[in-house]
Structure 1
Amino acid sequence: MINFKEVTSQGFVGRMEDVIPAKAVLVTSASKKVPLLKCVLKSIQKIGHPSFLISGDSNPNAIAQFFTDSFWHMPRLDGMDLQKLLFYCNEQHIKYIIPTRDGELSYFSRYKGELQQNGVHVMVSEMKGVETCLDKLLFFQEGLALGFSVIPTAEESSALDVSHFVVKERFGAGSESIGLNKILDEAEEYAKRLQHPIFQPYIKGMEVSVDVYVQKNGVSKGAIARKREIVVGGESQITTTFRDEMLEQQCADFAEKLGLYGHVLFQVIIDDEGKYHFIECNSRFGGASRLSIECGLDSFYWFLLESGGSDLTQYPFVRAAQDKRLIRYAEDLIL
């Protein structure tokens, strides 16, 4: 890595015009997502061509800047139109963008086509798929119409014939504001705290995530299921892969039928009878998705290969022979 100190007028750290190679990879909303950045860096190194890793965030103090070649203090997306974005990409030789936050997926999906026409590839789904995944009620409706066992979702508790409820926000990632296992009165009261509450039945069972990579041609390349053993703030702190070919195939099929692209993540409950209940889908890389990469689902590498024109049939999905466990923990960096 190159250690930069100078800050340019555009908010970049480092004199990039002096050292930047032919292409650069930008990871947006990088925040403190160091494991994700390490995965991207490893993929860049596997490609074998000189590339520059840039972390971008609207927070000038984002920890990510200490783990990449350079840092872009990005403007807010609502103040950056396509021309401004293209200017930054052209000036810094950015050819690949990897969005990592739900709140920015619609923005990059909106400009995905124009960016590609200008030689910038974005790992994001088309707008319809993004909107379906961001709206839990729409996800239920679409999933039901497609024939998948999505968990019933309603805006009114009276629409569900159950005794215990889950209450959450309808839009985006609302894991921190979720109300679990509430009886009717508790659920109704809890819903008053939320902006756009929805109700779902509370189902006992094993909570799992399934990472999927969907290629540009709309066909899934691979899927890996993992148990969410300890969850904090909606993200797995301890997660272990396991084999369930039927579940993985269903998630791959679901992703294809939703028209998704790139790395996507399904949340599923497997009840005591072994039945699947699809809760939601995040059309982005998840907090603990690094484990799936370590087990062979090489999403960032495949994205870079595809964007460069490579035929992914020459790069098979080879799943690790043994299951693996990921444990997330804090670590210090001494400079």
Structure 2
Amino acid sequence: MKKKLLVFLLIGVLVFSMAGCGNNAEKPKSDIKVAMVTDEGGVHDQSFNQSAWEGLKKAEKDFGIKVSYVESQQDADFAPNFETLLDAGNDLIWGIGYKLSDALLDAATNNPDQLYAIVDFSYGDKTPDNVVGVVFKAEQSSFLVGYIAGKMTETNKVGFVGGTAGDVIWGFDYGFQAGVQYAAKELGKEIEILNQYAESFSDVSKGKAIATQMYQQGADIIFHASGDTGNGVIEAAKEQDKWAIGVDRDQNYLAPDNVLTSAMKRVDVGVYNVVKDLVEDNFPGGQTVVYGLEEGAVGIAPTSDKHVPKEILEEVKELEKKIIDGEIEVPYNEETFKEFMKTL
């Protein structure tokens, strides 16, 4: 009897010890904290910052984690904002946009035990183990909306308004130009593309001024890739009763009668998936995750069928397959655009 009692006591101690070890090893999901630093566009930019926040909010709902953000008013805010979120005890800190790349790398280097992630930037083979980059083949969705613009322009003149020049926005720019020229080749005509950068992702009035001038010069469709600045482009489209093409999110709701389509870049999907990996203890540190058409993270907006004819949407589906299969290699900068033009 005494031996049986001793066995039961030992089993009880063992079970209790194992349970205690499990609780210490695995952090409860409700205690996981994830935060993000926006660029100067802010979390309500109707574009990629807002999309990133939507991804975090979905993760909060699905996984029971805690999420937050701090907004940057200027580039000088990036470093102190990262420091603020570090002091707040976040498990993962995001930088939204390539403009935060230097500040995030400094923070990650100085705090090797802290996890970081960045949207729209890759450190390549120099990516620290505590950092993951998330990039998108935005040139692919830009090509598709460029094709739509080329097929639907009535003036044979379209426009592109960029935010700040650089690798990320060049992808939108040259992808769009390639799509327009692909359509022009099919139609056997020439289409002029007006092009200007606002050098800002937050200057709504400048976006409006640039777009208004383009419309007055004869453009009837303008694609923007300029964050909050693009809201000015859409305002101009409404005032001039012309077409605008949105970016990152489906922006038709901003001007239902004037936003023709949008080049979707699902930042929310990228952010959500990395947080999911974190929760499941599979954080892809030291890597760059790439999203494109094949992953369903870029494409045209769901509301495109409101204004784009069915036959053109069918052609877009065929183009998507050709891009995924590698039959069409969409350019993402000036050099690759020149090579692409040789194939037409």
User: TM-score band, normalised by the shorter chain?
Assistant: 0.3 to 0.5
TM-score, with structure 2 as normaliser: 0.36
Whose relative contact order is higher, 1 or 2, with alpha carbons under 8 Å and at least 6 apart? 2
**Structure number, greater radius of gyration:** 2
Instruction: Tell me which protein shows more helix as a share of its residues.
Output: 2
Instruction: Tell me which protein shows more strand as a share of its residues.
Output: 1
TM-score, with structure 1 as normaliser: 0.37
